[in-house]
Structure 1
């Protein structure tokens, strides 16, 4: 890449569209605001050794049995999955509980997308909780970027797209953007600014789904910017805090 040419930035609005994007030599940001990437960010900032993301509940249980002192966690359709110890709420993992432990995690959308990405330069975890840290990392790396929205069972969702738009709004001038989904995400985010993000999301499908489970406090936490200023990065099979 020429030193005068800006790296590319694109937004993938659903895992079902991932095959349309070239992730080679690209930093891929996995986004699952409600709640996987928010939980991973909180867990690592609160001192966990690592998070091991797995695709299935069965694999989660199996790894939990193999790794001494590990915690198995995850959800299906917003509820704690049968056979797992804990759920997918960032509020479940304060430092006094999670510090120095290994979290084995499976979720409906976010961990699935993570396992779909191939041949990337890096896979990092994005959430409002680490928004500025992610933006700073992407600029410092100087590589092509794909913001990957986990969506909801392959369907577009508002909260992941809002986060992608926040990143584009903050660092878009450092990248070459020829991607209408990136432009649309930015527009959506900029329409939402000046309002409480959770209020903006109240008519969204995922807000309705999770509020039906009594998880409003979770969602409020997940849209709070920069509470956990770290960059979780996938190294081998583990997600750790980037040093």
Structure 2
């Protein structure tokens, strides 16, 4: 396939920049590595029936009560007041989550997901499902926007690194005419041999380590530990059945 006939692959490094991209014509990958999208793929991999992403805590509680579902989420890295569970992937083992519905709200990830609602399709990505994301995007041959949830609209390291990992793996199948994609790829190539060490100076890394969550951070930077593809269907994230 000639370069001009290939679909576009772009990286949006912050929700504040999303209006500059054509989401209606693209698959949007929501990326919130620490920790929303890592937790989403982990819960689905462990058998959760569905995950309902919502924007705020009050809505999370209301829907959770109506459905008899697990209410989960965080604000600023800690379990949000009024919710049962937080945003750690280790809170959702198969023995707990299999067959259940999780209603989830997070500081950054669920916000971006709702902002991208007009996309051709929405999936979620993180290192634990890196290969599943890459394989799916290559198979679909549609325009792609890798949307980083960032941290309160400020560009962050971990989401940029994941976007760079995707670009690095699948760039041959796409047109990459996007400086953000090139920057993300270079960052990933610089740090890929030890992402945990590379992340040490990053703000959210330091925030979570300060909360004693090193185990979470290491898991969220480990490729393919939860190889499932979360797909948004009727405002619910479910595991794609290829």
TM category, shorter: over 0.9
The residue aligned with 2:30 is 30
- Partner residue of 2:75? 76
Aligned to 2:11: 11
Match of residue 215 from structure 1: 213
Aligned residues of 2:4 and 2:175 also touching (Cα < 8 A): no
TM-score relative to the length of structure 2: 0.97
1:199 Cα deviation after fit: 1.1
CA RMSD of aligned residues (A): 1.2
Mapped to 2, the partners of 1:92 and 1:164 lie a distance apart of 25
8 A Cα contact 2:28 2:121, kept in partner: yes
> Which residue in the other structure is 1:174 paired with?
173
The answer for the alignment partner of 1:141 in structure 2 is: 140
Cα distance in 1, alignment partners of residues 72 and 130 from structure 2? 24
Q: Contact 2:3–2:175 at 8 Å: present in 1 too?
A: no
Q: Name the structure 1 match of 2:158.
A: 159
Output one character per residue of 1:195-243: Cα deviation in whole Å (capped at 9) or x when no partner: x211110111011111111111100110110011111000012100011
Aligned equivalent of 2:110: 111
Q: Distance in 1 between matches of 2:144 and 2:95?
A: 35
Cα displacement (A) at 1:119:
2.3
Equivalent runs, 1:192-203 vs 2, <5 Å = 192-194=191-193, 196-203=194-201
The 5-angstrom pairing of residues 40-79 of structure 1 reads 40-68=40-68, 70-79=69-78
Alpha-carbon shift at residue 29 of structure 1 (Å): 0.1
Q: Which 5+ residue runs of structure 2 have no aligned equivalent?
A: none
How far apart are the structure 2 equivalents of 1:100 and 1:7?
36
SS of the counterpart of 1:124? strand
Q: What is the match of residue 101 of structure 1?
A: 100
What is the CA-CA distance between 1:24 and the residue it aligns to?
1.6
1:240 aligns with 238
Hey, which bits of structure 1, 4+ residues long, moved more than 4 A?
none
Once residues 82 and 57 of structure 2 are traced to their aligned partners in structure 1, the CA distance between those partners, rounded to angstroms, is 8
| TM-score, length of structure 1 as denominator length | 0.97
**Matched residue count:** 240
1:225 maps to which of 223, 226, 237 = 223
